[in-house]
Chains A and B, each alone.
Chain A
Amino acid sequence: MPLTRRRLGALAAATLTPLARPAIAQGAPLRVGLMLPYSGTFAALGENITHAIELYLASRDNKLGGRAIQLVRLDDESSPPNAVQNVNRLLGRDRAEVMIGTVHSGVVMAMVQAAREKGVPLIIPNAGNVAATRDLCAPTIFRSSFSNWQPAYGMGRALAAQGVRKAAWITWDYAAGKESGEGFADGLKAGGAELVKVLTLPFPEVNFQPLLAQVPSLGVEAVGSFFAGGGAVQFVKEYAAAGLRERFPLCGSGFLTEGVLGPQGAAAEGIRTALHYGDGIDNPTNVKFRAAFQAKAGRPADVYAVQGYDAAQMLAAGLDAAKGDIAAEKEFVAGIRAARIDSPRGAFTLSASHNPVQDIYLREARGGENRVIGVAAAQLADPGTGCRMA
């Protein structure tokens, strides 16, 4: 961020005032902190989420619940070691009163921790760690995206419905990979099938060869996987190059083919994935949203943009109910809990643990698009095990 007088002033204020007094007067704008990756591998996602939030705010004249909104951006660089310090900066130095963030599951935990300790409202527009809406849930923590368990569960159900009895799971050895794997296993079980083997490699390595060479001897009929971004490109291409696609069809959580079909090319053609968004959803909200996003950001909307848009909608629901007063926590929380979000993905409500209850679509990669061909799991709620909230 460039050096501005406002930032210098904020730094001076933060250094010299012993007590950070929140702005209570209705006249003062509400400071909404966006802690997102604006640099690093996930920068495009951070930008898309921000564009979508700004889009929604513009449609509400930048006022929610009668209160003007001031967005404060902080680049978290998708760096877990710096996460705690960055949250401190956002809340202490930049005096944000509401947090929206972030993309990386390792970073979001620091935000979850701060929300639990300090009661600051947090709306998560992407990171899917199940903990945020399970054992670490809290009244002021909400999510507008998904839990890692949901899309993979949908894929498991769909696979079992196609007649597969035994499958394997390949992923990176980190939270998102593990939690998706559990969802996949649960989905298979619900459909009468079985997950027989999990193969992992450390994140973010891309030396898949040792794992791919094991696939033929596993005794499975299909292989599910979770990879995202560049790793997904590499994996799909190598899977095809190893000649595995005919005998062991590849599928997985939607991120395997989300935003990466171009580089993946022919290797991805026909791959089925499950996600809460896809190409070809033609409800009026989606059509309008996609047009507006394209006009504002100069590129097509993706699942991250939708999640950002819905995070803004959820914030609006809370502030409308609280009449702009962020200190009225009960009303704020009740407002979001009761809301029915008119999302481009299809309308959804929130589960008791504050995660979206949504349709998981089954998509097929065809001609550079992830075409929705059906619903893998309808109105799916994350189990929310271990969440203890009033």
Chain B
Amino acid sequence: MRIAARPGHAALALAALAIAALPFWAAPYTQQLVANALVAAMFALSLQLLVGGAGMVSLGHAAFYGIGAYAVYLLGKAGVGSFFLTLPAAAALGGLAALLVGLFAVRARGFYFLMITLAFGQMLFFLFHDTPLGGGKDGVFVARPALAAFGLDIAVPRRARAAASLWVNLAVLAGLYLFCLWFMRTLYGRALQGIRANEHRMQALGFDTARLRLGVFAIAGAAAAIAGHQAAMTEAFVNPDLLGWHQSAQALLMVLLGGIGALHGPILGAFAYVGIVELAQIVTERQRLVQGAVILLAVLLLRRGLAGVFPLARAP
């Protein structure tokens, strides 16, 4: 998986600045749209750790995304409302859930892995859909975590809410991306790339591939939960569909659209997907047709994804 070189990162940084400047000239609706796209980018990036990083295609990743979102709801009920507490707590919950599912899932490879992650994802979906834990199958409104710590409380006036969402999401995405960047450059990250290329060879070299795969599964789950936390914070609403496999499939699509071969690919893919869906909304009511056609075209034509069109680095 390619990682962007310095000029590539300069381009990404410029893009981030442009997004940060949006609240000064764009309408609140556009800001909300971009805030949602940033959350989608976080979720897709967390999946990229598995797919592009370790070659593990999971159809149940949204379960951890949803757990992160519901963490906001559950923590809110328990009286915990500070962003600086809820974010790490959500990550921990997601990571823990991923660890437990991973114990079953990483024993499998390829198709089995896919189906097992699908099935466990659905199980977690039903947990929130059918039991009182989730507050109802239609979802529930949550209070946004407050930017409050150690007595300092940044209260966000209603007019600035869209801008605040945008900036917080941008900051979290940047943090997540920098983490992934660092992670893929460590020995662990490189070992995972080796596993993706040829697992048997890595085993022959003495790596405990099962343990490595379990580890990245848990880390990716924690990252997905962070994205879910931001989703809850942006929309102030959580619903069981966030855990469903359709959500997982959409994330896979964003990864594909952006290109599995590049770390920044999912970010491009997420923005492209959100943009296409929004534009399509104006033109037609047949949303499924648009979605299906986009996926079909992406699978058939875009072999290397958008990152192949906008390369920010040379292959290693």
Q: List the interface of chain A (C-beta within 8 A of B).
A: 1-3, 7-8, 11, 14-18, 20, 38-39, 75, 77, 80-81, 83-85, 88-89, 92-93, 105-106, 109-110, 113, 117-118, 173-175, 202-203
Contacts and interface: CB of A to CB of B under 8 A. Distances in A.
Query: For chain A, what secondary structure do more than half of its interface residues adopt (helix, strand, loop), or is it mixed?
Result: helix
Given A16-B27, A18-B25, A92-B28, A3 B141 contact: no
Interface of B is mostly: helix
A106 B138 contact: yes
Contacts of B136: 174-175
A203 to B, nearest CB: 7
A75 B284 CA distance: 11
A11 B282 contact: yes
A16 B26 CA distance: 5
A106 B237 CA distance: 12
Contact of A106 (B24, B32, B139): B139
Contacts of A106: 137-139, 239
B141 A109 contact: yes
A15 B285 contact: no
Interface string B7-46: 0000000000000000011111110100010000000000
A15 B26 contact: yes
B27 A81 contact: no
B129 interface: yes
A105 B32 CA distance: 24
B26 to A, nearest CB: 6
A160 to B, nearest CB: 30
Given A81-B239, A202-B129, A38 B141 contact: no
Instruction: List the 10 closest A-B pairs by CB distance, nearest first.
Output: A106-B138, A92-B29, A81-B241, A80-B138, A84-B235, A3-B283, A84-B237, A93-B29, A14-B27, A14-B29
Contacts of B284: 2
Contacts of B27: 14-18, 20, 92
B65 to A, nearest CB: 13
Q: How large is the interface on B (under 10, 10 to 19, 20 to 34, 35 or more residues)?
A: 20 to 34
A81 B138 CA distance: 8
Given A7-B282, A75-B285, A105 B30 contact: no
From B29, B138, B287, residue with most partner A Cβ within 10 Å: B138
A80 B32 contact: no
A173 B131 CA distance: 10
B29 A88 contact: yes
Contact of B282 (A8, A20, A118): A8
B29 A85 contact: no
A314 to B, nearest CB: 25
Nearest to B158: A117
A1 B280 CA distance: 10
Given A106-B138, A174-B137, A92 B25 contact: no
Given A84-B237, A92-B28, A106-B138, 11 more contacts: A2-B284, A7-B282, A15-B29, A18-B28, A81-B242, A85-B235, A89-B29, A89-B281, A109-B139, A173-B130, A174-B136
